[in-house]
Structure 1
Amino acid sequence: MRILGLDYGDRKIGAAVSDAFGWTAQGLEVIERRRDGGEFDRIAELVKIYEVEEIVVGLPKNMNGTIGPRGEICIEFASKLRESLNIPVHLWDERLTTVSAERTLLEADVSRKKRKQVVDKMAASLILQNYLDSKSKR
Structure 2
Amino acid sequence: MRSSGTVLAFDFGERRIGVAIGEYELRLAHPLTTIDAVMTNMRFDAIARLIDEWRPVLLVVGLSVHADGTEQSLTPLCERFSRRLQGRFKLPVALVDERYTTITARSALQEAGIIGPKQRTMIDQVAAQHILQSFFDTPDASS
With structure 2 as the length reference, what TM-score do the two structures score? 0.89
Q: Distance in 2 between matches of 1:36 and 1:74?
A: 13
Deviations 1:7-35 (A, max 9, x none): 01121100011136251111110001232
CA contact (8 A) 2:58 2:92 kept: yes
1:85 paired with 2:75, answer: no
1:13 paired with 2:17, answer: yes
Q: Percent identity?
A: 32
Q: How does 1:1-138 map to 2 (within 5 A)?
A: 1-19=5-23, 21-135=25-139
Residue ranges of structure 1 left out of the alignment (5+ in a row): none
Deviations 1:73-98 (A, max 9, x none): 11011111111011111110000000
Q: Distance in 2 between matches of 1:35 and 1:114?
A: 23
Q: Distance in 2 between matches of 1:10 and 1:39?
A: 11
Aligned residues: 138
Q: Distance in 1 between matches of 2:64 and 2:38?
A: 21
* Aligned-pair Cα RMSD in Å: 1.7
Distance apart, 1:51 and its partner CA? 1.3
Q: Distance in 1 between matches of 2:56 and 2:25?
A: 12
Q: Distance in 1 between matches of 2:40 and 2:129?
A: 26
CA contact (8 A) 1:2 1:22 kept: no
With structure 1 as the length reference, what TM-score do the two structures score? 0.92
